[in-house]
Structure 1
């Protein structure tokens, strides 16, 4: 069981580092102020899910879920 705990701890540390990097790579919400003037109807506004920002948002959600699950598993005293 100690080997499993060490492996999960290493994976948890890697998820923490990846989550931090991906959150820092995202643009701030103030960068989207062009939506007031109608710039949200551009190509990037319509296809946000396929852009780099969309990929970063999806990976942030995935890593956040992995972070919570791993934290809960590592908190169990077995």
Structure 2
């Protein structure tokens, strides 16, 4: 069981990295040191592709954390 969860965690990690790299960059707030950008802390609602990618990322992170937590529990019990 431990080996299966470890393999799932590795696969999820690779997929999560790929999904994060696919997300479009936010050019308005990318430069933190630019004093002229007043929209740095402004929240805009994501639409279309951005919204889908944000949801996929959130779901993958939640699954990744559950698998990692399961691995910790299994390794601490000595199964």
Same topology, TM > 0.5: yes
Instruction: Please tell me the root mean square deviation across aligned C-alpha atoms, in Å.
Output: 2.2
Task: Find out whether 1:14 has 2:11 as its counterpart.
Answer: yes
SS of 1:30's partner is: coil
TM-score by length of 1: 0.66
Unaligned runs of 5+ in 1: 37-44
TM-score by length of 2: 0.65
Unaligned runs of 5+ in 2: 30-38
C-alpha deviation, 1:73, in angstroms: 0.8
Moved over 4 A (4+): none
Write 1 or 2 for the structure with the bigger share of helix: 1
In the other structure, the counterpart of 1:73 is 70
Considering Cα pairs closer than 8 Å and 6+ residues apart, tell me whether 1 or 2 has the greater RCO: 2
C-alpha distance 16-46 of structure 1, shift in aligned 2 (>3 A)? closer
